[in-house]
Structure 1
Amino acid sequence: MDEPSPWLDAEQQRLWQDLLTVVIALPAALDRQLQRDAGMSNFEYSVLARLSMTDQDTMRLSALARDCDSTLPRLSKLMDRYEARGWIARRIDPSDGRYTLATLTEAGRQQVIDSAPGHVAQVRRLVFDPLTAGQRRNLGTALSRIAETVRREATGGGSG
C-alpha cells in the first residue's frame, strides 16, 4: 500500500497559503486601522472589547490573557497603561486571592464605544463583505472545526 505523501496536494497548498495570508495580513490591517483611528493596536482594543463583553465588565487577568492569546507579563504592562488612563481598575479576586481581576471603567467603556465603529467597519469590509451569506455560513462551520482542534491542541488535549 502506498504511504500518503508528506506534502500538501495542490488544493491543500492553495487553501493553506490563503489561510496564511489571512492569519498574517488580517491582524496587520486591523492594527493599521485601529492605530490610525484610535491610537491603539488590535491586541489593545481586543483586551478592552473582551472586558466590555463580560458580566460586570470584569475578568481574571489570567483568563483575559488566555482569551487574548497573551502572556501575563505582556497583559500586566498593558493593564498598567490602562489603569494610568483610567480605563480599567484592578483588584484582588475576593473569591480567590491568588487571582487579580480587571474591571472596565466608564472611561474604558467609552474608549471601546468610540473605537468600535471604525474597527467593525474594517472587519466587515475585509472579512464579511467579500462573502455571500452561504459562504459566511460555510466559513463559520469550517473555522469552528479548525478552532476546536487548535484549542484542544493548545490545552494539551490533542492526539499524538
Structure 2
Amino acid sequence: MTTTRRFPTREELRIWRDFIETGEAVRSAMAARLQRDGLSSGDYTVLLALSEAPGRRLRSSELAATVGWERSRLSHHLGRMEKRGLIRREECLTDNRGAEAVLAPAGLEIFQQVNRPHLRDIREIFVDALTPAQLEATGEIMAALREHLARE
C-alpha cells in the first residue's frame, strides 16, 4: 500500500509564512533594541541563563542545553563574551574534565542595566500587540508546537 504525502494547503502555507516572517520581524526588533544597549540577543540569552543558574555558573554542556544551541556555537560565542569580560570559563568544580561558564561582574552589571529596558521592550513589541485572549492562544500554540517537536 502506498501512502501519499499530504502537502499544506495554500491557506496553511500563507499562515506558515506569516508565522516565519512575523517571528523574524519580532526577533529583529528585539535584537536591534538589545544591540542599542550593547548586547546581542545571543549575549542576553547566555547572561540570562547564567544569572538564573546556581552560583551564576553552568557547565558548558548544561548551558548549551539550556539555551538550545549546539556546543560549537556556544563555545565560539563564549569566547567572544570572555574577551569582552562578560563571562569567565573555569574548570568545573565537580569534574576536572569539564569547564563551566561563570557570569563575570561586568556581565552581571550590563545584564542588570539592560534587563529592565528589555522587559519593557517585550511588553511594547509583543504583549501590547495582542489582546489577552490572543496572548493566551499564542501560549497554547507555542506549547502545542513544543510538545509536537518533543515527540519527533
Give the TM interval when normalised to the shorter protein: 0.7 to 0.9
Please give the alpha-carbon distance, in whole angstroms, between the structure 2 residues aligned to 1:17 and 1:77.
31
Give matches, 1:6-155, under 5 Å. Answer: 6-38=6-38, 40-150=39-149, 152=150
Aligned-pair CA distance for 1:6: 2.4
The letter for the 1-side match of 2:84 is R
Unmatched tracts of structure 1, length 5 or more: none
For each residue in 1:56-110, what CA deviation from the matched residue of structure 2 results, as whole angstroms up to 9, or x when unmatched?
A: 2111112222332333233223322332333222222232333211111222111
Aligned-pair CA distance for 1:37: 2.3
Please give the alpha-carbon distance, in whole angstroms, between the structure 2 residues aligned to 1:83 and 1:5.
48
For each residue in 1:9-40, what CA deviation from the matched residue of structure 2 results, as whole angstroms up to 9, or x when unmatched?
A: 344223212211133222222221111222x2
RMSD of aligned C-alpha atoms? 2.2
For each residue in 1:124-143, what CA deviation from the matched residue of structure 2 results, as whole angstroms up to 9, or x when unmatched?
A: 22211111222211111110
Distance change >3 Å, CA 139–CA 36, structure 1 → 2:
same
CA contact (8 A) 2:43 2:81 kept: no
The letter for the 1-side match of 2:6 is P
Please give the alpha-carbon distance, in whole angstroms, between the structure 2 residues aligned to 1:132 and 1:75.
36
Please give the alpha-carbon distance, in whole angstroms, between the structure 2 residues aligned to 1:47 and 1:22.
24
Unmatched tracts of structure 2, length 5 or more: none
The letter for the 2-side match of 1:27 is R
Structure 1 vs Structure 2: percent identity of aligned residues? 29
CA contact (8 A) 2:60 2:100 kept: yes
Distance change >3 Å, CA 66–CA 23, structure 1 → 2:
farther
Range moving further from structure 2, 120-129 or 7-16: 7-16
Distance change >3 Å, CA 5–CA 80, structure 1 → 2:
closer
TM-score of the pair, normalised by structure 2 = 0.83
Aligned-pair CA distance for 1:44: 1.6
The letter for the 2-side match of 1:77 is H
